[in-house]
Amino acid sequence: MASADPITEFLNAVERAQAHQVDTTPVVLATADSSGRPSARLVLLRGADARGFVFFTNYDSRKGRELTENPHAALCFYWASLDEQIRIEGQVSRVSADESDAYFAARPRGSQLGAWASDQSQVLASRETLEEKYREVERRFDAQVVQRPPFWGGFRLAPSRIEFWYGRPDRLHDRVLYIRESSGWRIERLYP
């Protein structure tokens, strides 16, 4: 029986997957630009609670620009070894500067420096250009704490729909959809 709360259901699914040695952090993020042209890529989930699902990026990257232009997005987890999929749709907003600062401070130093060195999604003349820019950033922050760049931080997707898909024999899959309403979550079962 499904939980009355999809976040509880999600956290239970993550716990079950991790017990089977599944890395539950990679998730496909689908965005669309202001014209509605979609794009998708893997990001790493860095938090999930009643407020939503958190990931981090360069705000000037393609995904960052698209999320700013059109703050609606979707996430899709697929854990092949368990034959489970979770689809999440909702509105996206930036997390607080304090939350972005805390996560950035916990990242490995090399990743912190890389965030400064990369003009993410922009055209790069050569690998050497990137490596030289990284060395410049290393020199700039030599023996210093690396502060979070102002163009880098987190987004939170506040879910309006969450669907759990559980693979079953003979294509008789279980699909449970949660839809957010003003009074809470409505639960529907869908045909596979």
pLDDT for the residue 2:
74
Encoded tokens for 92: 């996206």
For strand 152-166 and strand 47-49, is the pairing parallel, antiparallel, or unpaired?
A: unpaired
Mean pLDDT of 77-91: 97
Task: Please provide the average confidence, as pLDDT, over all residues in the chain.
Answer: 96
Query: Is residue 12 within 8 Å of 36, Cβ to Cβ?
Result: no
Instruction: Cite the beta strand spans of the chain per DSSP E.
Output: 26-32, 38-44, 47-49, 52-58, 72-79, 84-94, 152-166, 174-181, 184-190
Domain count, the chain: 1
β 47-49/26-32 pair status: unpaired
42 domain residue, yes or no: yes
3-state SS, residue 163: strand
Query: Looking at the domain assignment, is residue 90 inside a domain?
Result: yes
Q: How far apart are CA 165 and CA 174, in angstroms?
A: 6
* Catalytic residue chosen out of the listed positions 65, 87, 140, 171: 171
Question: Does the residue 94 lie in any domain?
Answer: yes
142 is a domain residue: no
Residue 1 has pLDDT above 70, yes or no: no
Please check the confidence at residue 8 and state whether its pLDDT lies above 70.
yes
**pLDDT over 70, % of the chain:** 99
Asked whether residue 120 is assigned to any structural domain, the reply reads no
Comparing C-alpha atoms, which of 43, 32, 96 is closest to residue 66?
A: 32
Q: What's residue 115's pLDDT?
A: 97
Contact (Cβ atoms closer than 8 angstroms) between residue 158 and residue 173: no
Predicted pLDDT at 3: 85
Please count the other Cβ atoms lying within 10 Å of the Cβ belonging to residue 143.
Answer: 4
Distances (CA, A) of 42 to 60, 75, 180, 185: 17, 9, 25, 27
CATH number at residue 73: 2.30.110.10
Q: What is the pLDDT of residue 147?
A: 96
Q: Report if residue 80 sits inside a domain.
A: yes
CA 139/CA 127 separation, integer angstroms: 19
| 11 occurs within a structural domain | yes
pLDDT above 90: percentage of residues in the chain: 97
Q: Give per-residue pLDDT as tens, 103-125.
A: 999 999 999 999 999 999 999 99
- Give per-residue pLDDT as tens, 129-163: 999 999 999 999 999 999 999 999 999 999 999 99
Tell me whether residue 46 is in a domain. yes
Domain that holds residue 106: 6-110+150-190
Known catalytic residue: 189? no
